[in-house]
Structure 1
Amino acid sequence: TLAVEPKVLLLDEPFGALDAKVRQELRRWLRRLHDEIKITSVFVTHDQEEALELANRIVVMNQGHIEQIGSAEEVYHHPANAFVYNFLGNVNLFHGRIENGRVFLGDTAVELENTHAHAHPETGKAILYVRPHLLEIVMKPNGKQTFPATVKSINPAGPQVKVELVAEWGDMVQVEIDHERYQALHLEPGANVFLRPKEQKLFVYSI
């Protein structure tokens, strides 16, 4: 394909049938190749990690419609809407309601810093999105940003410890913490703890 020196190269899920280790090696190879030959490629993938690692510019599509166009940093850290945020990586969804600019999860009021809360005009309902690595586990409440939860299971295998919890109002919550923090907390199933969002995005329900 490259021998004819095309202006644009279309790659339609070229690594889809390969195992994870080989996919990682080929992503690095393809990135180096692009840096050398300076060809424009359109790379189609359903693998979010693949897109974030390879692309200079990402187009997030949903049912044939473009949701957002931007750099990997822009679409990941500044998603245009709930679909983009949910699509690019793991995320916890907390179903709540908005009253007088404050978000309530169950009976717990959560103060949102740097977030403009606007309720749906008919329902007042909203969804709070928080990525697992952006939730902090603490043993005591720390201001209005914390809410109670109970540890359900712990998976310490891998670079991050994955903790599954149940929030006070019943939502399942996934949290990722480093091993040093895990050792300091002495977590075990059944422990009552508190969660504090380090960063969050708020989106209203669409009806």
Structure 2
Amino acid sequence: MEVASRIVVMNKGRIEQVGTPEAVYDKPASPFVSSFIGNVNVFHGRLQGETLDTGAWQLPIRPPGSDEAGDDTPFAAYIRPHDFELLKTTDEKLPGCRVKFIQPMGSVYRLEVVPEHAASDGLPNVIDVELPRRDFRALDLAVGERVYLRPTETHWFEAGENAAPQI
């Protein structure tokens, strides 16, 4: 992606998306493209008013383009590891997670956190998070510590959606 001015993402011989590397990364056209182009955490749930309800986690943003979708419409939120804000305390309705693993990687720290409600169908068993070194040090985190995750950027897809190719 570093040397190309345009890329083509194909899935089983079908073009999923064509665009600049930045456009494909920032606005993936399908769940496949989102997963193919980089690490991503997937949260499954149903629309409930202005939230995506996973059963344990209410994402407080209605997905763009979901105006026609009624309550109980299944959606999936695709969130990259660096698109979370990590909090030690919160007044929001965010479920708690426990830090399972910490890996310093120079300017970034990679963490694995386990939702306290991991048995919920909508939450992954382990959530990958990346924090800038400065943020990690400010939080002074340790394995086993309770934290809360707030998504800062999310890619939304209706469940079962195979978006039309973006060429």
Note whether the superposition's TM-score is higher than 0.5: yes
Aligned: 1:169 with 2:123: no
- How far does residue 100 in structure 1 lie from its aligned partner after superposition? 3.2
What is the CA–CA distance in structure 1 between the aligned matches of 2:68 and 2:117, rounded to whole Å?
A: 20
Deviations 1:41-65 (A, max 9, x none): xxxxxxxxxxx11111111110000
- How far does residue 111 in structure 1 lie from its aligned partner after superposition? 0.9
Among candidates 100, 103, 106, match of residue 152 of structure 1: 100
Residues 51, 62 of structure 2: 8 Å contact kept: no
TM-score by length of structure 1 reads: 0.67
Distance 1:117 1:99, change over 3 A: same
What is the CA–CA distance in structure 2 between the aligned matches of 1:71 and 1:142, rounded to whole Å?
A: 39
- One-letter amino acid of the counterpart of residue 47, structure 2: I
Which residue is equivalent to 2:79? Answer: 130
TM-score by length of structure 2 reads: 0.81
- How far does residue 88 in structure 1 lie from its aligned partner after superposition? 0.5
Count of residue pairs the alignment pairs up: 154
Which residue is equivalent to 1:97? Answer: 46
What is the CA–CA distance in structure 1 between the aligned matches of 2:51 and 2:151, rounded to whole Å?
A: 15
What is the CA–CA distance in structure 2 between the aligned matches of 1:124 and 1:167, rounded to whole Å?
A: 23
Query: Quick check: which one's helix share is greater?
Result: 1
- One-letter amino acid of the counterpart of residue 108, structure 1: W
Distance 1:66 1:83, change over 3 A: same
Distance 1:80 1:114, change over 3 A: same
Residues 45, 54 of structure 2: 8 Å contact kept: yes
Residues 147, 196 of structure 1: 8 Å contact kept: no
Larger Cα Rg: Structure 1 or Structure 2?
1
Aligned residues: CA RMSD:
2.3
Which residue is equivalent to 1:191? Answer: 145
What is the CA–CA distance in structure 2 between the aligned matches of 1:98 and 1:119, rounded to whole Å?
A: 11
Which residue is equivalent to 2:121? Answer: none
Residues 120, 126 of structure 1: 8 Å contact kept: no
Distance 1:203 1:118, change over 3 A: farther
Distance 1:197 1:184, change over 3 A: same
Residues 52, 62 of structure 2: 8 Å contact kept: no
**Structure 2: which 5+ residue stretches go unaligned?**
119-123, 162-167
Aligned: 1:182 with 2:130: no
Aligned ranges 1:68-107 → 2 under 5 Å: 68-107=17-56
- How far does residue 148 in structure 1 lie from its aligned partner after superposition? 2.2
What is the CA–CA distance in structure 2 between the aligned matches of 1:111 and 1:131, rounded to whole Å?
A: 17
Among candidates 59, 67, 90, match of residue 110 of structure 1: 59
Residues 120, 204 of structure 1: 8 Å contact kept: no
Which residue is equivalent to 1:57? Answer: 6
Residues 162, 174 of structure 1: 8 Å contact kept: yes
| Higher relative contact order (Cα pairs below 8 Å, separated by 6+ residues) | 2
